[in-house]
Structure formats: C-alpha cells, structure tokens
A and B are shown apart, each in its own frame.
Chain A
Amino acid sequence: MVKIEDLKRINLLRDVPDHLLEIMSKEAQLSIFGKDSQLVALGEDIDTFYMLIMGQVSVGRELTPDIDVVLDYIQSGSSFGTSALLEGIKATYNAVCQEPCEAITLSGARMIELFAENHELAYHMMLGVAKQYKEKMDTRAQMIIKTMDEYPEMKDDIKDIENLTLVI
C-alpha cells in the first residue's frame, strides 16, 4: 500500500480523481531497486507497471553486441511498463536503473482485473497512457521535422513520419 500523496507525484495520474487513486493505493507497492537492476527485459512478458519516485531508469535496445542505444531516460514522476496494463504484450525494450531507484509498482494482472470491474478507473488510466504516448510521438515528430529542416536531402529516406501524426 502507498499513500495517495505519493501517487499524485506521478504525471500520468495527475488528472485521476481521488476516489480512484484510493483504489490504486491499496494495490500499489513502494519498491527500492539497486543501480543496474534490470526491471524490464526485451521479449519477456511485462507484468509490472512502474512509476518512478526517485532515480533514473534507461530505456533502450541492443543495436549490435557492442552498441546499446538508449531511447529514453525515465526520471522521477514518469512511468513505464504501460504494456502491463494491456493484455498479452511482450517488452520491446530493456529498462535498467542508472542509479538506486524508488518506484511505485502495480501488478499488471491485478490492474487488468480491476479494469474489468471498474471502467471509470480503466478509462482514467488509459487516458493518462494515451496522453503519455502522444507527448512522446509529438517529441519524435518535432525532432524529425527539425532534422529534415537541417538536412533536406534526408526527406526521401524518412518514410514513416505519418505514423507520428496521430491520425486514427
């Protein structure tokens, strides 16, 4: 169990009403992880949703045996492992603590059970996740637009920017 005040420190939960945070607070755990702890492993089932209170987690992929690519750094207030809230999805990245980390964790299986019973909770959580994805997609789109501005010759090589325009 964690305090509602701790849940309110998480960006994804900022618009979730208190009565729903109360339900989540009973399910959540506060966990401490050491530096270099691997929280998510590529290709494995994601069974936990992580909300970082303190520390930094790198999200990345191995490009070659000698090169790892860091796709994102997760910092306090941010969350990852949203796939745990969706059924049957495997991890597409590795998540590793860059320093000692304190995180609120939720069991994905338990949250999916709760979503089936409580659609209000499910709706608010999914809305937070959708906003998080939108923010990341907007950032990527802006980075690509900036790159194309500086290197117009790359325009023909970038074929999937429409994937970032949020058309559904």
Chain B
Amino acid sequence: MGEGRQIVASLDSVTKKYGEVTALCDVSLNVGAGELLALLGPNGAGKTTSVRLMLGLSKPLSGKVQVFGRDPRIVSARRRIGAMLQVAKVPETLKVKEHIDLFRSYYANPLSLRTTLEAAGLEGMENRLFGALSGGQKQRVLFALAICGNPDLLFLDEPTVGLDITTRHLIWQQIRNLVRQGRTVVLTTHYLEEVDALASRVVVLNHGAIVAEGTSAEMKARTAQRKIRCVTRLRPSEVESIALVSGVAAYEDRLEIRTMQVEPVLRELFLRDPAITGLEVSNSTLEDAFLKIVETGNQEVQKEMTA
C-alpha cells in the first residue's frame, strides 16, 4: 500500500469459513488513508466477505479485523464508515428524503439533505417514494445513504452493477470527488474498466487468497505487454523466432503477436515482409492482466489438488 499512509482498516491473517467452504484463507490486507482500493476477483473469490468483515457484519474464524483501530462489530466503531451493499429490496413506502434523513440521524456530522441529494444526482426526486424510482435512481439512493453520514471511509460493493452508462459515470465522478476530499474508498467490482478509471491500488483475490497486488499500471506490466496484429505471408513459426516475441497466435487471416517491446519487433517484421497489411498495435488491458493472474492461480490450485 501507499508509503507511510495511516492505516484506516485492516485484515490481519484473517480466515473465514461458511460451513465447510473457506471464504478467506489467512488474508492480510491494509487500507491506507486516502487511497482508493479496488478488490477484484471472480465470483466467490472473497471480495464481499472481506468487505462484510470490515463492516462488522461477519466475524472471522481466526485473525483480526480492525477499522480505525477498533473492532467494526462495535456500533460506535462504525460512525466514520459508510457502506453501499447489494440489496435485493429496499422498503418502498418511504420517500427518498425520509430514507436519507433516517440514515443521517445515525451519524454525528452528516451532510445536509440538499448536499446529499446533489452529490447523488437526486435533486427533485426527494419526495418520491422509493418504490416509484427506476433501477438507476434506486442505486443512487443507496449511494446517497452511503455518503450522507459524511464518512471518512466508504465501502462500495459493486456500486455500478447493472447501471446505465450515465449513472455509472455519475457515480464514478462522485467517487473521484470523495477521494479528492481525502476520503478512503474500498471498492469491489467486476468491471475492470471501473478499476482502471478509479483505483489507485488493486488487490486481486481468487479462491479466498490474495493472488496479486499493485497499481493498475503495475498489474498490466505483469502480463505480456502489448499486442501486434497484422496480415502477413510469414508463418507463425517464423515470427516466433524473431527476438523479443513472446508469443504468436493465428486468427483466420491474421497473426497476433505478443511482445514486451513493440518497435524492434515491428522493424524486423517489415524487413521480412514489406507487404504487411492491417497493422494494429494495442496495449494490454487490465482485463488481460486479470485473466492471466486468475488463470495462473487456478492452474496452481489444480496442481495442488492433483498432487
């Protein structure tokens, strides 16, 4: 995590089981003040379990969970925390402003109703019953409830799942603003685009363990960096023999060449086939990095299981 940042939340050698299923296995994780940490991983990797533990909704089998130096299962330890969780149904017969007013009452220094409505993009909807809102508007109310207490630490469990692009960007913008104001955000998500757009640090979980950790850029650097696609008369085996090429795949009429250094490889390609066409060069995406990390992890797990 960030150098010398104050730690606001931590898991210390935490193991959590649900019955026979191990949700987290000896996981240690620190959240530094002011950072935007993304927890990434496939379903069942332990992202939501980590968040539930840090919110005091769940108790570890072993290890220690702390938020602002205290056990989050104590009510008063949660006074500086806001949370947006996945919920199937919210009481529909309260108005937007009533929901917000109630959650504001739990905190010592809440935002005003007006500020909360503005920040969540709910102006003009305060008198609507929750049940009369669209899906995107409902999600904004949940976001409003998370921020209305003016929290220093915010947990967002898949905040933009199923949202239209406008609402998603609105919430991203709000998350950036909160971080700019010095708040700490812990985000779980399936959307790699979301991580790329927001996160200062990424932790990848798989099978209840941390499999990778770093900045978004560092993550990408962990995988074969860039891709060259082109139509060429050269055979894949020939391209593979070029220095610095780390992999070649043939797709119909074109080749996909992976390499850490694009320029020398391109020069060599042009020398060998001046008639090369359809050239495309792309950076590796976070998605490539993510898939690679998870795939490697799975292979290791399989090896362990067969061993």
Chains A and B belong together in one complex: no
